[in-house]
Amino acid sequence: MSQQTNGYAHPEALVSTDWVAQHANDANVRVVEVDVDTTAYEQGHVPGAIGWNWSTELCDTVVRDIVPKAKLEKLMSAAGIGNDTTVVLYGDNNNWFAAWAFWQLRIYGHGDVRIMNGGRRKWMEEGRPLTTDPASPAPTTYRAHEPDLTIRSFLMDVRSAMGGETVLIDVRSPAEFTGEILAPPGLPETCQRGGHIPGAKNVPWGKACNEDGTFRSPEELAALYGGVGVSKDKPVIAYCRIGERSSHTWFVLKYLLGHDNVRNYDGSWTEWGNLVGAPVERP
Amino acid sequence: MNAEEYIVRSETLNGWPVRLTSYRLEQRWFCAVDNVDPGACIARAEGASREEVERIAAYKAAGRLARTRRQ
């Protein structure tokens, strides 16, 4: 590990670009790229890396849900990932969807999964090698665990948490939080109403990152979230629009700061903002 | 290969701040436009020069940003 991981609660969950450069081709390591821009992998990726498409491979494409267990098993097997493989995830936009994949792999109990600090941008800015050759690993037979839903929040959990000790963190931009806009600029509107869940605190996901895409120091992160009332004795539920930005914040709180009781509400604003009669707060 | 001449620059399109990230992979140029906050890629292009890919990607991005309504 590099010095970048010093001081985090679970430094084993984070690797540096240096580490990936040295270990990407180790027999027990599989590097996987997951991007917001699903065409980015084809332009060039870390040599040996597999590419996953979040919109088709990391979800149920019929029902709105996370990837089903059997589908994940096929995906992992085809990627040459065994139950003991070290999976290193990275992607564009400071690892948005890498964190989404990380969260799902933890739901299905994969033991050793890590994120490359800084993601695709840092790898490219450092001038590290890229290839357009797709990886072709030997397939495995992967067996996922039954889903651990203690790290996932559903609508009923959020409703139950409102007004209690749970800290709700809305990680969208301030303009989305206030209801000024219904979706990030340039993206389709996916909700009927703007605003936020009553009582939620707004901590945009990007505040957890440095300019180069790496995560901020443990001290800076503790101050950021402590400033809105997050503490280790209170449950936390993070949400955004579709659940990927909030999985990034979930990763920060759980693995970098060591909060045990953190859940990602992946229904997020596309669910809440479309519910008939759901309370909405606007400033 | 590796990314050459990697540049990130800021601009405003249709009243929205954006970042244009452009670079060259061997002889091919790429540009991605993101919306800064939250940073999602909203348009991209590839072509023979930085000027060409920035122009095409910015044109696509401007069209998509024009559809974003302030409430």
Cβ of B64 under 8 Å from any chain A Cβ?
yes
Shared domain for A58 and A47, answered yes or no, is yes
pLDDT computed for residue A2 by the predictor: 41
Shared domain for A128 and A162, answered yes or no, is no
Q: Domain count for chain A, please give it.
A: 2
pLDDT computed for residue A238 by the predictor: 98
Q: Per the domain annotation, does A114 fall within a domain?
A: yes
Shared domain for A95 and A214, answered yes or no, is no
Contact B32 A37 (CB under 8 A): yes
Known catalytic residue: A240?
A: yes
Structure token digits, residue A139? 């397939």
Contact indicator for A122, A214 with CB cutoff of 8 Å? yes
pLDDT, tens digit, 9 for 90 and up, residues A167-183: 999 999 999 999 999 99
**Nearest Cβ partner for A194 among B2, B34, B71:** B71
Q: Facing residues of A87 across strands?
A: A30, A113
Q: How far apart are CA A73 and CA A49, in angstroms?
A: 18
Shared domain for A177 and A263, answered yes or no, is yes
Last residue of a domain, one of A147, A164, A180: A147
pLDDT, tens digit, 9 for 90 and up, residues A38-50: 888 998 999 999 9
Contact B69 A182 (CB under 8 A): yes
Residue A189, domain extent: 150-272
Cβ of B30 under 8 Å from any chain A Cβ?
yes
Last residue of a domain, one of A91, A124, A147: A147
Contacts of A94 in chain B (CB under 8 A): 39
Residue A3 has pLDDT above 50, yes or no: no
Contact indicator for A91, A34 with CB cutoff of 8 Å? yes
Residue A4 has pLDDT above 60, yes or no: no
What's the mean pLDDT when you consider all of chain A?
Answer: 94
Shared domain for A175 and A118, answered yes or no, is no
Cβ of B34 under 8 Å from any chain A Cβ?
yes
Which regions in chain B score pLDDT beneath 70? none
Contact B35 A187 (CB under 8 A): yes
Domain annotation for chain B: domains and CATH numbers: 3-65 (3.30.67)
What string of DSSP letters covers chain B?
-BEEEEEEEEEEETTEEEEEEEEEETTEEEEEEE-SSS--EEEEEEESSHHHHHHHHHHHHHHHHTTPPP-
Q: Facing residues of A45 across strands?
A: A131
pLDDT, tens digit, 9 for 90 and up, residues A39-79: 889 989 999 999 999 999 999 999 999 999 999 999 999 99
pLDDT computed for residue A5 by the predictor: 56
| pTM for the structure as a whole | 0.94
Last residue of a domain, one of A101, A123, A147: A147
Indicate the range of A32-41, A167-176, A193-202 predicted with least confidence: A32-41
Shared domain for A20 and A107, answered yes or no, is yes
Contact indicator for A47, A23 with CB cutoff of 8 Å? no
Q: How far is A130 from chain B (nearest CA, A)?
A: 5
Q: Per the domain annotation, does A281 fall within a domain?
A: no
pLDDT computed for residue B40 by the predictor: 87
| Cβ pairs A/B, distance under 8 A | 90
Structure token digits, residue A33? 């790229």
